[in-house]
Amino acid sequence: MISSIPDETPLALHEYGRKLFAQSCHCVLAAAAPEQFPPTTLPEVAFIGRSNVGKSSLINGLTGRKNLARASVTPGRTQQVVFFDLGQRLMIVDLPGYGHAEAPRAERDQWNNLVQNYLKTRTQLKCVCLLIDTRHRVMDNDITMMKFLDRNAVSYQIILTKADQVHSLEHATKCRQTEAILQKHPAARSGVFLTSASKSVGLAQVRHFIAGFALAEKA
């Protein structure tokens, strides 16, 4: 089982998603302050999650590039909002991770303010992919982020990562447990995607999901 979301994607979207993620993808810039956010009109899909959730690996896996998104040597130390242009059709946005206490408090506050500014004000943002480590339960700071997105009416999709590190017999249970939590969060999209970047599990479904935002904008 690779997702609790039935794969009812039209064949045309399957093909569009495949072609979209075969396009060139490059870093536009890494913004350390809101005034540095690029003045683009492309639709944006942002990725966020706890430090060490596998965000960089998932972005690299989706785009088929080993080093597009680079994990910080020290978890929790990525300080910028990084914008990647996918085929001039869509922006993939890598947001700093949360939930790691190693950074000084002042730095963490600065990152939080940067991320919150992006999430609250970025009109190009179509959806946030909120990553949860399949090996662990949904943490308190995950719930805090979900509530923030709820309050600001920012649509988000839960993606479970590192599924290869959990026995396949537990996959359905992990999906059901996460889905039960989503019932209390109005901005959450229904269902969850179960993925493994290292094993390429669930990546095609996530590509099709993201491609839908680029196709809608194109139409």
Residue 114 corresponds to which tokens in the numbers above?
A: 């940067």
Helix ranges (H only) for the chain are 11-20, 55-63, 105-121, 140-151, 171-182, 203-218
CATH number of the domain at 11-218, out of 3.40.50.20, 3.40.50.300, 3.90.550.10, 3.40.220.10? Answer: 3.40.50.300
Q: Both ends of the chain: CA-CA distance in Å?
A: 32
Percent of the chain residues topping a pLDDT of 90:
73
Tell me the pLDDT of the chain averaged across its residues.
Answer: 89
Only one residue has tokens 């946005």, namely: 93
Residue with tokens 């196709």: 215
Question: What is the pTM assigned to this prediction?
Answer: 0.91
What tokens appear for 27 in the block? 């870093």
pLDDT bucket at 137, cuts 50 / 70 / 90: confident
Please give the backbone phi and psi of residue 2, each rounded to the nearest 5 degrees, phi first. -115, 0
CB-side exposure of 2: number of CA atoms within 13 Å? 12
The number of C-alpha atoms within 13 Å of 218 and in the hemisphere containing its C-beta is: 12
113-134 as b/e: b if 16+ CB within 10 A:
ebbeebbeebebbbbbbbbbbb
What does the pLDDT look like over 156-194, one tens digit per residue? Answer: 999 999 999 999 999 999 999 999 999 999 999 999 999
For the chain, helix (H) and strand (E) counts, in that order, are 6, 7
CA–CA gap between residue 119 and residue 71 (Å, rounded): 21
Identify the residue with better confidence: 102 or 67: 67
Residue 195: count other Cβ atoms within 10 Å of its Cβ.
29
Residue-wise pLDDT for 105-132, tens only, equals: 666 677 789 999 999 999 999 999 999 9
